[in-house]
Amino acid sequence: MTRHYLDHASTSPVRPEVADAMAAALRHGIGDPGRIHHEGMVARHAVEEARERLAAMVGARSREVVFTSGATEAIATACHGAARRDDRRHSVLAAVEHSAVRRHAALGPTTVVGVDRTGRVDPDEVISAITSSTAVVHLQLANHEVGTIQPASEVAAACRDRDVLCHVDAAAAVGRVPVSFAALGCDLLSLSAHKFGGPPGIGALLVRRGLRLDPLLEGGEQERARRAGLENVPAVVGLGAVAAHLTADVLAAEAAAAIDLTDRIRTALTSLDGIELHGHPTGRLPHLVCAGIADVEPQAVLLGLDRIGVAAHSGSACASEGLEPSPVLDAMGVDAHRSLRLSVGWNSTVADVDAATAALPDILRDLRALSERPPENP
């Protein structure tokens, strides 16, 4: 059976150039980048080259890049450092932030700002929530479930005027749309390589030049004493490879291809009964579509799609890791229990999309028929 992978928003398969770069790094036996022998210097060069490539991709200085194990660690580091910078402990965040932001921010007092039905915050409400005790404002660049893009640069400018740190979670956006750390004007930005075809287990926290934060991981002087532990050199090399590949032209071409595919999905979904598209209609990421499906449990839809070879996801976490309804959809005021997310990536095709949209009408019809069948008498 041919498989059709439409869950790139969760994790995107490793690109060929990434696999090749990592394989070469592993074969050549790179040493400890902290050592001054030949093998160590080769490793140091590889790490710093990858740092420069990533910095160029996201509009940052290379010295602002701190490699982490992924966006979750980067977010934890941002929360940890912001809370220990001075006596301020209060955090402001949007109700649709990723669970990593919500959980780490909740270690201190927080103010959660609501969103409209498209999942977008009002920047004035975020700014109004800042108090004299606010240490940091968290605002994702784009939502991971519905794709809505947030007014991050506007909020970052207001934070700067108030001497409050601004952390932007860009994990869903980097590698999908142009991102410039300098242009955003935020203090901290988190990202993860596996979201756009890089290796799993590697990400970065961008830290504005001149900002000093206590490290989350202590025990060594790696990453200029900002993150202890031996660098994961093969993964860092892989991240550098995907950053070098994703030039402005390549990123634009992939975004255009993604829009064509997701527009095809949106058109097919809106022709079905009981379907409501979620997220902002225009201010959204190019690669994902989230839709509410009335009267049908998401697990059954996902299993039906998987049976015919389509990998998808539910916008609600209840279909995978947890049993709770989606906080994102709940904050938007839509059905937080029943949704479907289809997302495309660098190797997606029209055939992948058509396999899903062709199968959905029959899957939904059969599931609704089952739910309407009267119970049998014992």
Q: Determine whether 318 is an active site residue.
A: yes
CA–CA distance, 18 with 243 (Å, rounded to integer): 10
H-helix segments, 98-191: 99-105, 123-128, 152-161, 181-184
Catalytic residue from among 79, 159, 186, 318: 318
Question: Which residues have C-beta within 8 Å of that of residue 247, sequence separation ≥ 6?
Answer: none
Q: Is the dihedral of CA 302, 304, 305, 306 positive or negative?
A: positive
Question: Which residues have C-beta within 8 Å of that of residue 23, sequence separation ≥ 6?
Answer: none
Residue 144 has which token pair?
A: 């991971």
CA–CA distance, 304 with 219 (Å, rounded to integer): 48
CA–CA distance, 221 with 230 (Å, rounded to integer): 9
CA–CA distance, 178 with 157 (Å, rounded to integer): 19
Is 118 within 8 Å of 281 (Cβ atoms)? yes
Nearest to 352 by CA among 321, 307, 312: 312
CA–CA distance, 367 with 161 (Å, rounded to integer): 54
Single-letter amino acid code for the residue at 88: R
Bridge pairing between strands 4-5 and 310-311: parallel
Is 136 within 8 Å of 114 (Cβ atoms)? no
Residue 221 has which token pair?
A: 């002087």
CA–CA distance, 319 with 269 (Å, rounded to integer): 20
Is 324 within 8 Å of 99 (Cβ atoms)? no
Which string of b and e fits 16-42 if b means at least 16 CB within 10 Å? eebeebbeebeeeebbebeeeeeeeeb
Which residues are annotated as catalytic? 318
